[in-house]
Structure 1
């Protein structure tokens, strides 16, 4: 049986190239998602960069990563127009400093290459960059001020202030000090959140009115600004709405509080991805858990939390126009992850000679049979191993045999 599986594995293996990915999929996806099983490893980002460069030759023009959608606008402005400097963009254009997105050499190289590629090209041919995560960190959520005031300014400038339900001064009064919104203690103590204050409730109604105004005047706004300008205003509206929802549930005291919070984060991700899909083919990169089609699970405060990931939400809407490649690793020795046991999926793949592989996931699931191997148990909490029972829900598996330590 083991011999049959090893023989069948060879039939599933392809070179890790964009053309092989396209040939493996039944349709050209509008969103091609590449997951990673752990963060803060430039080797994985180098693989992402290589694949994106090849996908550009296949007509893809946008890359979206698991970073703050508002901060990502700084990067997009730089790669499309040259606004700012590379050092400044790396400092201000990436979130999640705990995993070093802005300090990553691979992220820096991606931004540099995209700017060089765009130099001298007409607007319609330029590459675009997007963050698709909400303005959320592990310890706090951002104030809605940035997104809400940007939306208010856009509508006031192009429609006139008389149509707006609140003045800029009233908006500033309702928002108050940003410190009230970003209070770190609120992540674990609902009583420290202002998400259910009278001001926060009024802001939720205000954002709803401003969003309705934005949608109602779509023809005029696109004609007077541009499709990109209107799209950016929609991003402001989505972000302000999502943040106010998130803060509302940070103030919740029920047992479902954390389920709401993780669900809302992925909902924000999904909404941003669906908006990007309207613009044209895009490559997406984030943790496997945010991009997979099956329900995501984790333990928080000793309790299980389950929710639908951004990938599951987007896949339900886009169908075959969404494709997901899950990445798995052989070793991550500097994190204590040594060679996988031979009776796991990763162990079977590790026995193959290639350093990097692409595998047809549904075909791999069929090869492994009705009783798949046992899941690999990772000694490092930051590495999520493959779930053998869910292989068929991925379109492909990217396997990287050994990930070396890379100094920041």
Structure 2
């Protein structure tokens, strides 16, 4: 496939990324087309180091539980807990091996070493930006709802609060009522539309409203970290209760709303992280793209707006998205891409002597492929790898292309 793209294929580094972007981003999103590959996480780690040292980035946000992520943040900022404990308890999605990943462990170790002896204003921060949601279940709202209540009770007069702590405990009941994995496929098993859950949704809304009304007092009465953490608890408690409400729904809109609510929780966490300064975000391409997401499920096609689309609508050019694509993933059965695909074109352009990742101007690539030589969509023989959609190349600001991904040693 003949093109004039050779001069736009460069080695990936922070300087090349910043030159490609129209403006300095507050959120720089690096996508991945598959999970569980330490090669891709190593690339993420190196880019983050460069962004820290050369561009003043101080936060990394990954596709992991935002509440568990507080465990990691405490460790990297103040040394709380051992590295082993942090890797076990600070990451969600065990099916993806986030806590077992050698690359994630190295990221946490490096961040802690970097922060040692530095003032708080210069320390690196870690954030999970996903909700407390696993593939088959959502967490109980107990931890976040009671933590928000406790924060407010510690700083405001008791008569301002909409209820006492024991009222929340009574309404919440046992956690296993909320986390029943059968509820994902059987809405009747969900407690999200019980009278108790309805009352909790109202109380969560009142607690969040009270928090917002007393923002000036709360900022003055507590540390900024404690304030931000309480705000996260409020976002998450309200989001979980709304998510459980739609878990109990039986209409055709159920999965659309659940996917949209997850994206909304992600977007809220990303916008909050961006208030501290520029952030590198790492997640699946599908969570970071600007265009509407689609998925075919047992009930038919589902469409919703991803976290990247929601954040991009708010931030404009202050949101930048780099999609990652792969040439081969041979240990998963993904061999050399056909030459008529976008990945095939990039595979031919990648410098043979340089096995490192390349950075390509996505919009220029889209323009070339939209002319006389439009690319064919690549079909992956393995469900876990999502190829580039040649019709959506211009959705991203750049493409990180990794020619060959080798199996992770772990």
Give the aligned partner of residue 54 of structure 1: 50
Give the aligned partner of residue 362 of structure 2: 361
| Alignment pair present for 1:392 and 2:389 | no
Give the aligned partner of residue 7 of structure 2: 11
Give the aligned partner of residue 29 of structure 2: 33
With the length of structure 1 as denominator, give the TM-score of the two structures.
Answer: 0.98
Give the aligned partner of residue 226 of structure 1: 223
Give the aligned partner of residue 383 of structure 1: 385
Q: Give the Å deviation of 1:9.
A: 1.8
Cα deviation, 1:247-292, whole Å, max 9, x if unaligned, reads 0000000011111111111111011111111121000000000000
Q: Give the Å deviation of 1:162.
A: 2.5
Instruction: Answer whether contact 2:9 2:350 (CA < 8 A) is retained.
Output: no
Structure 1 runs (4+) greater than 6 angstroms displaced: none
Whole-angstrom distance in 1 between the partners of 2:299 and 2:188: 21
Match of 1:113 among 98, 110, 114: 110
Q: Give the Å deviation of 1:352.
A: 2.4
Whole-angstrom distance in 2 between the partners of 1:245 and 1:395: 33
Whole-angstrom distance in 1 between the partners of 2:329 and 2:300: 28
Give the aligned partner of residue 96 of structure 2: 99
Superposed, 1:208-219 pairs within 5 Å as 208-219=205-216
Give the aligned partner of residue 40 of structure 2: 44
| Alignment pair present for 1:71 and 2:68 | yes
Superposed, 1:141-180 pairs within 5 Å as 141-180=138-177
Whole-angstrom distance in 2 between the partners of 1:309 and 1:15: 29
Whole-angstrom distance in 2 between the partners of 1:386 and 1:357: 15
Instruction: Answer whether contact 1:12 1:364 (CA < 8 A) is retained.
Output: no
Give the aligned partner of residue 374 of structure 1: 376
Which deviates further from its counterpart, 262-271 or 363-372? 363-372
Cα deviation, 1:294-333, whole Å, max 9, x if unaligned, reads 1111111151111110000000000000000000000111
Q: Give the Å deviation of 1:365.
A: 1.1
| Aligned Cα root-mean-square deviation (Å) | 0.9
Match of 1:279 among 269, 276, 279: 276
Whole-angstrom distance in 2 between the partners of 1:192 and 1:331: 42
SS of alignment partner, residue 147 of structure 1: helix
SS of alignment partner, residue 349 of structure 2: coil
| Alignment pair present for 1:324 and 2:283 | no
SS of alignment partner, residue 54 of structure 1: helix
Instruction: Answer whether contact 2:24 2:318 (CA < 8 A) is retained.
Output: yes
Whole-angstrom distance in 2 between the partners of 1:135 and 1:358: 33
Match of 1:406 among 400, 405, 408: 408
Give the aligned partner of residue 311 of structure 1: 308
Whole-angstrom distance in 1 between the partners of 2:350 and 2:241: 51
Which deviates further from its counterpart, 9-18 or 382-391? 9-18
